[in-house]
């Protein structure tokens, strides 16, 4: 099923009692003179500021950008706004002091959408920075900074951006985003796990609200609001436009399309009906839209959000952002076929289901779209930004080292593309068969850093390398340390010699610098997420040269 037939914007009828908590506010003075952020700022404004969740922009084109805010005086107690439409005025200028105004107008923040504002501003000049501000009543929002992309047929000499993922609030402070806000880049790609549905039972640094797994629309709104109150997340959004997508934790860990994780014999006795899970999906998707700088026009006629889309940086780069969660078939080898404890996690011994031709991680429509985009691209660099690891990795040599029962067997992560082998072969085979040059895949999800060479068919030893995959570290979410020696042992096996780099303990983001001649990815990591104000450094850098699909390490620069 390509589009899910559930309403994106239902009225909340959960009937849950709104919980009272200490009021939390947002960081005052998010930016000075163009969105710069005081790196060590820690102060908060009073909670009655209607722009307590900050401002953001996203999905820029060569002549427009999407602006976002949400009015909320009491964000963790239902929002605190009167249940009526509220006029919000907006201004766009070419200078950080808002003196040279080029666009202005007014719109309504509707209670049905939690008083969020999604405004597409058209008629802007290509390839330039702008500053924007909202006003409600006599109160001004912080000033945000955004930009347009170069004209479609232009030949830009460079692009600078960063990509991030996996920012579990409980797992630590957003020190990575604190440092990201000071980078000189053009935009940020967020690959998903923007919020987390589950509560951490280890490495907990700060607590989620509500202190339970969200199910209702009110729950998801509170969870998003708590994340949005973080000053460093606000600062990054106010500094750069974002391209955002989702993975599983925006709804429920490891869900697949309309199938809850509690189904398929993963959690016996706790199956969730499709009707019940549709309600949860509808609530979570609606809350996601309400808190993200994405266009309402992204929604389909049936009510789902179409989040796969593309951005062209002139003729230098075409970036295709995928959605590998909403349309996928259920992960293979689950339930009784899962031989490795704990039953229901990502790691399984392959059972043959992962090879099914009709298994899909993107859905048929999106698969045709991405392959067609690659075939007809006129860009120098072709970027696939998506959620889960695309490379094939056999953990069996490592698992077998520590558990003789699995010696000589393959072990795969089937929540990633290793669970959808035929779909991966169709995509990477199309890259090979159409001689698509300079394909770069950006991935998140696994809370660790990887650099992988991607083969057209990993089952064939002579299959050519057709792309490089950069898997970024998490912002805060932890990788299980007990699995580190398993990976170390597995990567020493020749079956995994296409993996060129792995690191599983540090958090951060990947900064990319693109020119016609080369692609550079810098793995930027922070010392700790247990406290704010941690320093950032470049752990490792890799280069991909024009028309050479393999990545080579370069000396890291602090």
Residue 131's pLDDT is what? Answer: 98
**518-526 vs 536-545, strand pairing mode:** antiparallel
Contacts of 173 (CB under 8 A, 6+ apart): 205, 206, 232, 476, 529, 530, 531, 532, 534
Residue 33's pLDDT is what? Answer: 26
DSSP-H helix ranges across 348-393: 364-376
**How many angstroms separate the Cα of 238 from the Cα of each of 57, 145, 279, 475, 540?**
7, 6, 32, 18, 28
Residue 31's pLDDT is what? Answer: 28
Rounded (5°) CA angle 299-75-43: 120
Q: Which is nearest to 78 in space by CA: 287, 292, 295? A: 287
With a cut of 70, which residues of the chain have pLDDT below it? 1-48, 200-202, 264-270, 297-303, 341-344, 556-558
Cβ atoms within 10 A of the Cβ of 104, count? Answer: 14
Environment class of 401 (CB within 10 Å of its CB; exposed 0-12, middle 13-18, buried 19+): middle
């Amino acid at each position: 099923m390509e589009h899910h037939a559930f309403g994106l914007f239902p009225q909340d009828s959960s009937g849950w009692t709104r919980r009272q908590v200490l009021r939390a506010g947002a960081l005052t003075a998010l930016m000075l003179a163009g969105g710069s952020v005081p790196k060590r700022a820690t102060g908060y404004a009073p909670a009655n500021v209607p722009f307590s969740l900050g401002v953001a922009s996203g999905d820029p084109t060569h002549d427009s950008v999407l602006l976002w805010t949400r009015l909320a005086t009491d964000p963790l107690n239902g929002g605190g706004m009167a249940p009526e439409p509220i006029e919000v005025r907006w201004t766009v200028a070419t200078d950080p002091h808002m003196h040279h105004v080029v666009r202005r107008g007014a719109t309504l923040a509707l209670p049905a959408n939690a008083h969020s504002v999604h405004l597409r501003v058209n008629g802007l000049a290509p390839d330039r920075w702008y500053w924007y501000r909202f006003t409600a009543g006599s109160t001004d929002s912080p000033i945000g900074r955004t930009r347009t992309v170069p004209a479609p047929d232009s030949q830009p000499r460079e692009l600078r951006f960063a990509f991030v993922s996996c920012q579990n609030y409980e797992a630590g402070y957003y020190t990575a985003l604190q440092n990201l806000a000071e980078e000189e880049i053009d935009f940020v790609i967020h690959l998903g796990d923007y919020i987390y549905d589950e509560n951490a039972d280890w490495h907990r640094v700060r607590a989620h609200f509500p202190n339970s797994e969200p199910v209702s629309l009110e729950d998801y709104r509170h969870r998003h609001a708590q994340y949005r109150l973080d000053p460093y997340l606000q600062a990054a959004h106010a500094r750069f436009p974002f391209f955002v997508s989702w993975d599983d934790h925006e709804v429920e860990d490891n869900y697949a399309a309309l199938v809850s994780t509690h189904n398929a014999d993963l959690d016996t006795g706790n199956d969730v009906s499709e009707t019940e899970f549709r309600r949860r999906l509808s609530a979570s998707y609606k809350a996601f839209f309400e808190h993200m700088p994405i266009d309402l026009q992204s929604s389909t006629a049936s009510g789902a959000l179409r989040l796969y889309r593309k951005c062209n940086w002139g003729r230098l780069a075409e970036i295709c952002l995928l959605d590998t969660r909403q349309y996928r078939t259920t992960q293979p080898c689950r339930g009784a076929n899962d031989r490795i404890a704990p039953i229901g996690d990502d790691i399984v011994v392959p059972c043959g289901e992962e090879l099914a031709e009709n298994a899909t991680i993107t859905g048929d429509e999106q698969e045709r779209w991405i392959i067609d985009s690659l075939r007809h691209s006129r860009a120098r660099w072709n970027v696939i930004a998506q959620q889960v690891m695309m490379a094939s990795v056999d953990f069996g040599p490592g698992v077998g080292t520590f558990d003789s029962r699995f010696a000589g067997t393959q072990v795969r992560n089937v929540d990633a593309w290793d669970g959808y082998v035929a779909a991966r072969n169709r995509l990477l085979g199309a890259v090979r068969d159409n001689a698509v040059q300079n394909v770069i895949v950006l991935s998140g999800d696994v809370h660790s850093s990887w650099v992988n060479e991607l083969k057209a068919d990993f089952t064939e030893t002579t299959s050519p390398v057709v792309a490089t995959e950069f898997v970024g570290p998490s912002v805060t979410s932890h990788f299980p340390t007990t699995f580190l020696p398993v990976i170390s042992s597995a990567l020493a096996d020749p079956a995994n010699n296409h993996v060129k780099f792995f690191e599983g303990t540090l958090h951060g983001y990947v900064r990319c610098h693109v020119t016609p001649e080369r692609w550079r990815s810098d793995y930027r990591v922070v010392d700790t997420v247990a406290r704010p104000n941690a320093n950032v450094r470049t752990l490792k850098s890799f280069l991909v040269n024009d028309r050479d699909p393999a990545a080579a390490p370069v000396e890291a620069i602090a």
